[in-house]
Structure 1
Amino acid sequence: MEYSAPPEDVTFSGLLFDMDGTIIDSTSAVVKHWHTVGNEIGVDPEVILQTSHGRRSIDMLKVLCPEKANWEYVKHMEGLLPKFHGQDAVEIPGARALLDSLIAARAPWAIVTSGTEPLVTGWLEVLSLPHPEHLVTAESVANGKPDPACYELGREKLGLPPTEEKDKVLVLEDSPAGIRSGKAAGCRVLAVVTSHTVEQVAAAEPDWIVQDLRSVKMVECAPGRGVTLRISDGLVRKA
């Protein structure tokens, strides 16, 4: 498998970004934080880390530590992560440039994440990244990824007309759970290989696979004509 697909221009009505692993990489921070939290609540941190990426903390705690599976605890706990470990997070290459171009063109986009609002806003502040006009967080839906509810809500927040075809919305993701969530919502999905192996990402069946967001550039954005992206250096999957 090679990242050598020729450039492809595709037009969408709106874009829905996952956060961790797609816009930022906070892996080191998350590992440190879950070791602290796991030791505090009496759950093996390694067990937490094996199941945490791409999933809501509250869903994981319902299984591993039910007494802590409440929004008050989860929002407080996640809100501490950027404060204590902000220096351990970095941008995914190409993320800032893509977001800046979308904002400059007034293109419709939103962040749809399994993190809570304190976690997301904390990271955006620490890294001085742009805040979206529309945000879907862990608290926004009853069921987390891979359930499609979060991306369905994200699409609604973009204000797209009911007649708009769902596959005109692009989901940008990194985790298999998130990829499956976007696909289940009827959207097209571009996956970055930043947090999982290419084999794990491919198994979730996204429409495109790239190494990071340097492969995604905005070409044009015009009222009534959508957002045209150029997707370059995609993974070529050999038969």
Structure 2
Amino acid sequence: MDLTSIEAVLFDMDGTLVDSDAAVERAWATWAGEYGADIDAVLAVAHGAPAGRTVRIIRPDLDDAGVAAAAARQLELQYDDLSDVVPTPGAMALLAGLRLPWAVVTSADVRLAKARLGAAGIDAPVLVTVEDISAGKPDPEGYLRGASLLGVAPARCLVVEDAEVGVAAGRAAGAVVAALKGVDGDLRIRDVGELIPLLAR
């Protein structure tokens, strides 16, 4: 795919730049036990989405305060679970050679994002978290904000994602989307290292 018109890259964090899938799933498994939820149903909607969105889907009986408390508990379970959080294959090589401006746009809050990126040894020049926006993925707000902070039109941004909600957000923002893990994007990749020759400038 020709990416010569791309002027900036907007990366999702979990599962895209940072391999944290095991930590994410451990936290949701513990949360599901505490909140009487089916873990398979939880994991079917949780990946890539803000915790609050998942809580609302799984526990529609909770009021706004209950959702906020349940989402906060889920994040709390993740903050210190960093023992096996590492960069994804190809991530460090891609970032080391990337000459385009880039940002991380994540459904995590800033504490968790900085903890995970730090554990993976990644220093994001621009970071957009769930606290910076009013609507999380699949809403495009996060990616639109990331593009704005980089000063690049969304249509000239490449969004790199591993979850359907993130791909939907990138597409709604008007960006080109590269997708991992068999998710259907404009470009399908096995790992982010495949982008190195495509983004060489």
Rg bigger for which structure?
Answer: 1
Over 3 Å counting, the alpha-carbon distance change for 1:100 and 1:74 in structure 2 is: farther
Q: Alpha-carbon deviation of 1:145?
A: 1.4
The answer for the alignment partner of 1:138 in structure 2 is 130
Contact 2:56 2:67 in 1 (8 A): yes
Contact 1:75 1:119 in 2 (8 A): no
- Aligned partner letter, 1:34: W
Cα distance in 2 for partners of 1:37, 1:8 equals 43
Segments of 5+ residues of structure 1 without an aligned counterpart are 1-6, 219-227, 231-239
Cα distance in 2 for partners of 1:114, 1:42 equals 23
Would you say 1:99 and 2:92 are equivalent positions? no
Segments of 5+ residues of structure 2 without an aligned counterpart are none
The answer for the alignment partner of 2:179 in structure 1 is 191
Choose between structure 1 and 2: higher strand proportion.
1
Cα distance in 1 for partners of 2:95, 2:126 equals 13
Would you say 1:12 and 2:19 are equivalent positions? no
Cα distance in 2 for partners of 1:76, 1:101 equals 38
- Aligned pairs (5 A) from 1:89-238: 89-102=85-98, 105=99, 107-130=100-123, 132-160=124-152, 164=153, 166-193=154-181, 198=182, 201-202=183-184, 206-217=185-196, 229-230=199-200
Aligned Cα RMSD in Å? Answer: 2.2
Q: Alpha-carbon deviation of 1:43?
A: 2.2
Cα distance in 2 for partners of 1:111, 1:79 equals 21
Over 3 Å counting, the alpha-carbon distance change for 1:211 and 1:33 in structure 2 is: same
Contact 1:82 1:126 in 2 (8 A): no
Cα distance in 2 for partners of 1:69, 1:111 equals 26
Over 3 Å counting, the alpha-carbon distance change for 1:75 and 1:96 in structure 2 is: farther
Q: Given the two structures, how large is their TM-score scaled by the length of structure 2?
A: 0.86
The answer for the alignment partner of 2:31 in structure 1 is 37
Q: Alpha-carbon deviation of 1:121?
A: 0.8
Cα distance in 2 for partners of 1:62, 1:211 equals 32
Q: Alpha-carbon deviation of 1:123?
A: 0.5
Cα distance in 2 for partners of 1:121, 1:23 equals 13
Cα distance in 1 for partners of 2:36, 2:3 equals 50
Contact 2:28 2:74 in 1 (8 A): no
Cα distance in 1 for partners of 2:21, 2:56 equals 22
Q: Alpha-carbon deviation of 1:129?
A: 1.8
- Aligned partner letter, 2:93: A
Cα distance in 2 for partners of 1:110, 1:184 equals 18
Give runs of ≥4 in structure 1 deviating > 3 Å.
Answer: 72-77
* CA offset digits 1:137-190 (Å, max 9, x no partner): 112222221111111111111123xxx4x3211111111111111111111111
SS of match in other structure, 2:138: coil
SS of match in other structure, 1:81: coil
The structure 2 residue matched to 1:27, chosen from 17, 21, 28, is: 21
Q: How many residues align?
A: 196
